[in-house]
Structure 1
Amino acid sequence: MAEYTPTPEAVLRTLDVNEHLADPSIKQAFVTPMFDIIAPRYDRFTRWFSFGMDATWKREAMDAVREAARRIRPVQRALDLATGTGDLAFALARLWPGVQVDALDASPRMIDQARQRLAVRDADVATAVTAMVGDMMALPQGDASVDVITASYAVRNVPDARGAVREMARVLRPGGVLVTLDFYKPAFAPWRALFLGYLQVAGDMVGYAWHRDPVVYGYIARSIAHFMTEAEFSELLNDEGFDVVSVQCYLFGGVGRHVARRR
């Protein structure tokens, strides 16, 4: 008799989001099946939920990567963390001739989506990108082996933000570039309450409509509430061996882009 393997949907229904967000030792057990569930609709949801702003944020992030990496000659290896369906990874592959890009995500279904895109829509960069399932807390790349790292909506979802940043510092070469894009907890309390309130209500509604499980997208607001401000993330980067080159805030601190260089 074949062994029963529960679906991500079945797994998620047995877990309490607040308990898992509060305990780093079990956080990933919630995050991975959640992203497995949303993988097929991830791109559509992200564009809709951000009113199309996500595409602009990512385009500007890639402009920041290009500018910050001018001092690196040549850029030979790049790493895109929490790659999702591969947006930034494929953009990295188009920036520099001959670059090799590792596209890493903890969700197997997300990596399946990225590989499908490589086979069809983004076939022009298929030889330059390696899509892989992996753990940001224990990166498979060697010490000082990567020139550029991008990470969109990544650090907020790991069990230990400091440990993840430390891993990025380990695999980046001295002088290497890190560009992150993420949701942050707004510092201004009235706006924080309004921002998180909207994200939770809208996320719960979409989660129920699409998956009959509000927390699938309502997780976003809950995870931000357990995260940090963009200024606190700048301090973390500095503590872990990075010089912060620039910070760009969107939505009054609800979203931020950091450009940093490995000391």
Structure 2
Amino acid sequence: MEPSQGEYTPTPEQRLRALDVETHLTDPSIKQAFVTPMFDIIAPRYDRFTRLFSFGMDGSWKREAMDAVRESARRLRPVQRALDLATGTGDLAVALARLWPGVHVDALDASPRMIDEATARLARRDADVASVVHPMVGDMMALPQASGSVDVLTASYAVRNVPDARGAVREMARVLRADGVLVTLDFYRPAFAPWRMLFLGYLQIAGDMVGYLWHRDPVVYGYIARSISHFMTEAEFSALLIDEGFEVVSVKRYLFGGIARHEARRRQVPSSSAPAV
């Protein structure tokens, strides 16, 4: 329903300030109500922030992730459908489209403003692949893709932001074909306690500072450290992938486990007609 004339509609910034980050991070039923408006706010400056916050390393991490995708997908012939989750402004979706001519790439994000940015990017900078990349607003907990319909799936800075990591990984397993490729890149809680304190301390101070300078709200980027402290280690994520039907092919750790890339394959599902043993 459209607001009536004169009716007050709060901005995403105002909506976010009314929410308590710790309450929403610890309650899966309301976590998305915090995450979506936060990403709506940061969408116009998202690429600039990731470069600044990572001292330029984000670009190399993502290039290495795409190298892993290309190598792992060599055995898949042909690669017809790819899915990029938490697509942001669409950088990985565009990279996927350039790996295989004619591939259909769904670029999904929960933030409508992020999808607006991805759509604008395709029109402005990446028109050569605009016909095969399909930005869409969607929920990682209930993917619109059909079961077994995706050959390659990527997810950068994605699972940490969903209400239920296991449920999201289960959805990834559902939509991937047997032997399909999964490559993820995300922040993780470092296992080594002294480094964890330093790592999260830096992210907290730097995030709060940028959040205040750019948006007059420290939590906009200070959320990153808070969300990592509530997340899992990269080893625990490997175990989760295995539990939900994946074979973990490789794990690349960055920043002593504060960032990690996982490369995995969807295991073959045993035929229901196979005899019990």
- Answer yes or no: same fold by TM over 0.5: yes
Across the aligned residues of Structure 1 and Structure 2, the Cα RMSD in angstroms comes to 0.6
Amino-acid identity (%): 84
State the TM-score, normalizing by the size of structure 2: 0.94
Aligned to 2:139: 135
The unaligned stretches of length 5 or more in structure 1 are none
Shift of 1:5: 2.6
| Correspondence 1:228 to 2:235 | no
Q: C-alpha separation between the residues in 2 aligned to 1:7 and 1:261?
A: 41
Q: Which amino acid aligns with 2:246?
A: F
Answer with 5-14 or 43-52: which moved more: 5-14
Aligned to 2:199: 195
Q: C-alpha separation between the residues in 2 aligned to 1:97 and 1:5?
A: 44
Q: Determine which structure has more spread, i.e. the larger CA radius of gyration.
A: 2
Q: C-alpha separation between the residues in 2 aligned to 1:5 and 1:212?
A: 20
Aligned to 2:149: 145
Cα deviation per residue 1:135-176 (whole Å; 9 max; x = unaligned)?
000000000000000000000000000000000000000000
- 1:156 aligned counterpart, secondary structure: helix
State the TM-score, normalizing by the size of structure 1: 0.99
Q: C-alpha separation between the residues in 2 aligned to 1:4 and 1:96?
A: 47
Q: C-alpha separation between the residues in 2 aligned to 1:112 and 1:5?
A: 20
Q: Which amino acid aligns with 2:99?
A: L
Q: C-alpha separation between the residues in 1 aligned to 2:60 and 2:81?
A: 25
Aligned to 2:272: none
Q: C-alpha separation between the residues in 1 aligned to 2:125 and 2:14?
A: 31
- 1:142 aligned counterpart, secondary structure: coil
The unaligned stretches of length 5 or more in structure 2 are 268-277
- 1:210 aligned counterpart, secondary structure: helix
Shift of 1:4: 3.3
| Correspondence 1:62 to 2:66 | yes
Shift of 1:21: 0.2
| Correspondence 1:163 to 2:167 | yes
| Correspondence 1:39 to 2:48 | no
Shift of 1:7: 1.2
- 1:138 aligned counterpart, secondary structure: coil
Cα deviation per residue 1:91-111 (whole Å; 9 max; x = unaligned)?
000000110000000000000
- 1:151 aligned counterpart, secondary structure: strand
Q: How many pairs does the alignment contain?
A: 263
1:87-102 matched pairs, under 5 angstroms: 87-102=91-106
Aligned to 2:89: 85
User: Which runs of 4 or more aligned residues in structure 1 lie more than 2 Å from their structure 2 counterparts after TM superposition?
Assistant: 1-5
Q: Which amino acid aligns with 2:172?
A: M
Q: Which amino acid aligns with 1:73?
A: R
Cα deviation per residue 1:78-119 (whole Å; 9 max; x = unaligned)?
000000000000000000011000000000000000000011
